[in-house]
Structure 1
């Protein structure tokens, strides 16, 4: 894939950018509809087994990623629950939400840092530049998720997004 993710860390903010060869409206839809999210969300070998989304300001997206790849050793069979609470949505342009680690009931994890996320969808030479700005409470909180391998996980997730976008155009 030619459009690899660009990563920058500025204090307590992680900035990720990637260009997708798809219209901005389609990339936005891929983040806003369960039918799309189920096809690509999560790193390779992981599947969304739960994807309940209420895509509106004040709405919640509650999901579960499960490792279905036996080659991933101890991760095989593991579940990772997450929850996003949407704050602002501008169709085809921007999604702002707070991202939490959670449990199956949607209770937010007190042990793991939450993230203030702003996704911006920019028209770029007939393609879409996706800019993900993730703000953490502290540089240490950011380091916690980076040490967990989040950057690789997002890179693989965006590779899967790219493959999904190509399959539906």
Structure 2
């Protein structure tokens, strides 16, 4: 599944062990492009961020662009919340990211770090090498960083291995593409693979909203669906949860990104399946091709407007 190569180089004792260089390496059984999206997409980061089941991570802000920041709270029962602020300094897709990270608790800064992540790989496997330049203001931060980062990257590798990413460039302005997607009148008209139709029970395409609907196959088979929208950033991205039918079991955490490309729009649709088995089942019945058919219907719908 993966291999670990975590090491630490600590500054001399006369610097009071406040500075350390930590390195982490992971080999991941997922395509390079998928690993990159699992590392940067807020919806995916929310899945793998908690290092252990006893930690709950609440995201207050999430903007994965150069100059953007991510603010989260790590919560452990009986302990003060830990605030983590990440600021993105460099993002070279599928190559490198650089960010700062500041950890604080009860208003007191505990550490600051510069995190550099280098990516390499193919459409089959990928590799992530992370360097953390840590400056501690509180004691024992190095050990906590080593443990927390190591566990988080293990989670990341597991998430990447059950993530599906689809991309399509649509020759239409982003405003039109977004409008076709996030309009309760038009979304049901094109959503789904070729030959499928949608029957809506209720739809509210806002943060905190939901879409309860049936997808109906050409042979009449009905597939109940429930999408819950956790984030809507106009003309930029949406984050939502897929459920098997109304209030049913979670199927996947998903996101859609909309990028302007000189008047065209690059749409990226990502899904972190709940289990590896569900991911493998989805691949087995052709979910990637069916997803591309859905994006193709979106492209044709926009072209017809």
TM-score computed with the length of structure 2 as normaliser: 0.46
Count of equivalent residues: 148
User: In the alignment, which residue of structure 1 is the partner of 2:235?
Assistant: 92
Check conservation: 2:231, 2:239, Cα contact below 8 A.
yes
Matches of 1:138 and 1:47, distance apart in 2: 27
Check conservation: 1:34, 1:51, Cα contact below 8 A.
no
1:1-169 matches, within 5 Å, as 10-50=160-200, 52-67=202-217, 69=218, 76-102=219-245, 106-108=246-248, 110=249, 114-168=251-305
More strand as a share of residues:
2
Check conservation: 2:216, 2:223, Cα contact below 8 A.
yes
Once the two structures are superposed, residues 108-164 of structure 1 have per-residue CA deviations (whole angstroms, 9 ceiling, x without a partner) of: 1x4xx5111111100012100011121123332211222232112111111111110
Matches of 1:159 and 1:93, distance apart in 2: 20
SS at match of 2:304: helix
Q: CA RMSD in A?
A: 1.7
Looking at both structures, which has the greater relative contact order when contacts are Cα pairs under 8 Å and sequence separation is at least 6? Answer: 1
Matches of 1:44 and 1:136, distance apart in 2: 22
Largest Rg, 1 or 2: 2
Query: CA shift at 1:51, angstroms?
Result: 5.5
Check conservation: 2:165, 2:268, Cα contact below 8 A.
yes
TM-score computed with the length of structure 1 as normaliser: 0.80
What runs of 5+ residues in structure 2 fail to find an aligned partner?
Answer: 1-32, 35-159
